Structure 1
Amino acid sequence: MTTALIDYDSGNLHSAQKAFERMAREVGAGDVVVTSDPDTVRRADRVVLPGDGAFPHCRDQLFGLSGMAEAVTEAVETRAVPFLGICVGMQMLATTGHEYSETPGFGWIPGEICRITPDDPALPVPHMGWNDLRVDRAHPVLAGLDQGDHAYFVHSWAMRVADPGHLIAHVDYGGPVTAVVGRDTIVGTQFHPEKSQATGLRLIANFLSWRP
């Protein structure tokens, strides 16, 4: 079993790699490989797409890596392997992003990436720090997590899902903000599980054990 953690110069790979390697050892999930090689992604049993920064930049970086967007698409659409998008990696699952310019995503979770607009003007944007998860529906990647478990966020933009059935969890930040989305073999987290201590490690272990 191999989990491919995609390196396209747009993710916090060091801490993510350490967290995934630790939990892969604990649950017996095989190897975690940090890779910018599309063929490695094509052979992987699981795929993780991280992302830090602006949506258009991350998309340009990913699609600028020869063959990588096609390998990711094949993993999701053809091979249907478990796939996890983190932060902007999760946002790229949407139909369209509106940060700086209108930018297409993969469209696997229909919806838009819009700027956070808290009802309370005292709440700063970016949304940075710990927040309590509110689980909207059960999902294997959230097994063992409770309402109110803490997760770590750093973002100014968030997904508005077109289908409420794709919303797995949200947080309250001057109104609901999407935290976890998913369908079929796809799941995405707006927060950083690799920085979310016990909550994040449990989610990573669940993902590595997930058999959709």
Structure 2
Amino acid sequence: MKVTIVDYSSGNISSVVNSFKEVAQNKAKIEITSDLEKIKASDKIVLPGQGSFKSCVDALNKISGLNDALNEFVTVNKKPLLGICVGLQMFADVGYEETETKGLGWISGKVSKIDNQNGKYKLPHIGWNQINILKDSKIFKQVENNSHMYFVHSYEFVPTDKTVISATTNYSTKVVCSVEKENLFGTQFHPEKSDKTGLKIINNFINL
């Protein structure tokens, strides 16, 4: 089985790569590439993302044909894709970080700034926070409710259809921190920085 981590120059993805390699060992071949043919031939894709919504969307758009290849993978071939942090946020129709920016439109919704209640809550939201698992998501198999995950973000994905939300975390309000819709999985937190529980989530994705 081939799991591809999409490399589109969106920040340092070494911890994502290392975590997937650690978990995969003999189960899957992990490849880091922006090569369209390799991406299309993958069994599963990981879409990381660091920085702003706009910078990540711009970086994806800079690689000719990448958007189409990802679209085909997700919507036509219905193969599993895991979005991490801004990788998840880009599933939305639109994001409002820096300026209004069109997302990939895979899950209807928007990405907007966390309501920090006039400065009562610090942004970015950085550090460990508990997650409240709302539905029996495939990537949460044998993951305990209220597990702690590692976050770094100021914006949140607000899906139109609330049934896609698989977990929330409390930070000022209930912030969406994980979604699942058919073959699409996304985490706002960083599983690759979330210790053994994060590795369990990565393992569950590889084992899908």
TM-score by length of 1: 0.95
Moved more, 120-129 or 34-43: 120-129
Q: Distance in 1 between matches of 2:123 and 2:99?
A: 19
Moved over 6 A (4+): none
Query: What one-letter code is carried by the residue in structure 1 that aligns with 2:18?
Result: K
Match of 1:162 among 160, 181, 186: 160
Q: Distance in 2 between matches of 1:99 and 1:43?
A: 33
Query: What one-letter code is carried by the residue in structure 2 that aligns with 1:58?
Result: C
In the TM superposition, 1:141-152 aligns within 5 A as: 141-152=139-150
In the TM superposition, 1:14-29 aligns within 5 A as: 14-25=14-25, 28-29=26-27
In the TM superposition, 1:182-193 aligns within 5 A as: 182-193=180-191
Alpha-carbon RMSD: 1.1
Query: What one-letter code is carried by the residue in structure 2 that aligns with 1:10?
Result: S
Q: Distance in 1 between matches of 2:13 and 2:54?
A: 19
Report what 1:46 is aligned to: 44
Report what 1:2 is aligned to: 2
Q: Secondary structure at the match of 2:168?
A: strand
Q: Secondary structure at the match of 1:60?
A: helix
Aligned partners of 1:2 and 1:30 also within 8 Å = yes
Q: CA deviation at 1:119?
A: 4.1
Aligned partners of 2:190 and 2:198 also within 8 Å = yes
Query: What one-letter code is carried by the residue in structure 2 that aligns with 1:205?
Result: N
Query: What one-letter code is carried by the residue in structure 2 that aligns with 1:17?
Result: V
In the TM superposition, 1:77-92 aligns within 5 A as: 77-92=75-90
Report what 1:12 is aligned to: 12
Q: How many pairs does the alignment contain?
A: 208
Query: What one-letter code is carried by the residue in structure 2 that aligns with 1:180?
Result: S
Query: What one-letter code is carried by the residue in structure 2 that aligns with 1:18?
Result: N
Query: What one-letter code is carried by the residue in structure 2 that aligns with 1:155?
Result: H
Aligned partners of 1:2 and 1:29 also within 8 Å = no
Please state if 1:181 is matched with 2:198. Answer: no
TM-score by length of 2: 0.97
Match of 1:59 among 47, 52, 57: 57
Report what 1:132 is aligned to: 130
Query: What one-letter code is carried by the residue in structure 2 that aligns with 1:206?
Result: N
Q: CA deviation at 1:120?
A: 7.7
Q: Distance in 2 between matches of 1:104 and 1:24?
A: 33
Aligned partners of 2:28 and 2:206 also within 8 Å = no
Please state if 1:31 is matched with 2:26. Answer: no
Aligned partners of 1:23 and 1:204 also within 8 Å = yes
Question: C-alpha deviations, 1:56-109, integer Å up to 9, x for none?
Answer: 111010111112111111110111111000010100001110111111111111
Report what 2:120 is aligned to: 122
Question: C-alpha deviations, 1:12-32, integer Å up to 9, x for none?
Answer: 31111110011112xx43200
Aligned partners of 2:126 and 2:153 also within 8 Å = yes
Q: List gaps (5 residues or longer) in structure 1.
A: none
